[in-house]
A and B are shown apart, each in its own frame.
Chain A
């Protein structure tokens, strides 16, 4: 098991390969559809510092405010990453992001972006909402909450030992592509 903490250098990221299990700690940022659209169309600066050498998490959490008025994550598994395919490579380059956490993997444009910018795709366990929320130790701040709503806002969070697997690395390899090719071949055989 590899342990990594944000900010992550390009050198550390280039050492990772498809199939590596990683426990991730440090500050990361949730962003999904509305956030990615905004980052490309308006390139806002408010999120620049939090994203530099950090990780974007494709997640729309369930949150609550505790008795002291602080935000807490209640359930926070990954959402499907494929929807961000049109934006992701540009977001990585623009904001110098070192990793994406999501589920389902991403396409060729992102794969090329990971290779070019020195970043990886980490796969979290879809549906493991409670377990991952327990790895979120603190909510630092939230952006665009009013405008985008809870699931779509940028949540800047501190995580500890968030379990993920590298399924797309910075060397052009993708587990998703391999499984797709293999299973498609088996399906063709089954259908005769």
Chain B
């Protein structure tokens, strides 16, 4: 398969076929809700929709998101090769209705109509020593992006200080403010430390973890487990209708900060948590 066609298939899979680990988390959440409650009905509708989308090969959600790629490529390859293939695939996927046209010029408000524009799709490039290519894709919905937020500690209104206790508080605050608006139940990516830009970048990269995959740092892994319990006590529930599952998982990572700054960036992903990856090895394409 040609590179551009393999990327088109990656886009199709991401938009139409929810990953098994995410679907399992949704089914588990459904089983916790009582028969006849709005929460249970929402989960039933979500599951029916996921099955239909997979069968019909149509987007599970009409907001097919902003396209964010993460590419690890071997020495000798050029970025241009991948950029050209991605732009072709984005246009083709839009024409085939796997994607909605979601690239809008903020100056003229004109939609490009094909998901290609300035920094759209956005591509993170990384050269590595391996002799293979890894292409990871996140389709990031706009509604959930709008409830993402960044805190600067200390954060006075809730007495959140410059430590993990403070981090816990601002995450609870962010999810409470988000209510159902990010299409709950959500999955959180949290980046602690770094600058304004890199804390968000780190938070988004966490979305490539599998559901239930804990941080390798003991303190952060404990905080993830604690927060999962705390946040589901809020009873915001699916779509904000009330219920036992408000978030499906919390992924936290930390990076060194400047002595004067302490940022916590929180990225929220909707239940339609769409991320897929593929590897190209000796000319063969493998999808996760």
Contact = CB atoms under 8 A, between A and B. Distances in A.
B46 interface: yes
A155 to B, nearest CB: 12
Interface in B56-78: 56, 58-64
B38 A180 contact: no
Interface residues of A, number: 47
A75 B77 CA distance: 37
Contacts of B38: 19, 21, 165
Contact of A127 (B181, B230, B234, B272): B272
B41 interface: yes
A129 B233 contact: no
Given A103-B143, A150-B100, A127 B240 contact: no
A128 interface: yes
The residue among A59, A184, A190 with the most chain B CB atoms within 10 A of its own CB is: A190
B213 interface: no
Interface in A125-146: 125-131, 133-134
Contacts of A79: 63, 143
A189 to B, nearest CB: 9
A130 B183 contact: no
Given A60-B63, A62-B64, A127-B61, A191 B172 contact: yes
Contacts of A134: 52
Interface in A94-135: 103-105, 123, 125-131, 133-134
Interface of A: 19, 21, 34, 59-64, 74-77, 79-80, 82, 103-105, 123, 125-131, 133-134, 149-152, 163, 165, 167, 175-176, 179-180, 182-184, 186-187, 190-191
Given A62-B64, A133-B62, A149-B113, 10 more contacts: A74-B62, A104-B181, A125-B49, A129-B58, A130-B58, A131-B52, A149-B101, A151-B102, A175-B241, A191-B159
27 contacts: A19-B38, A21-B38, A62-B62, A62-B64, A62-B100, A75-B60, A103-B143, A103-B183, A104-B181, A123-B241, A126-B239, A127-B270, A129-B53, A129-B60, A130-B49, A131-B48, A151-B100, A152-B111, A165-B41, A175-B242, A183-B176, A187-B172, A187-B176, A190-B230, A190-B233, A191-B169, A191-B172
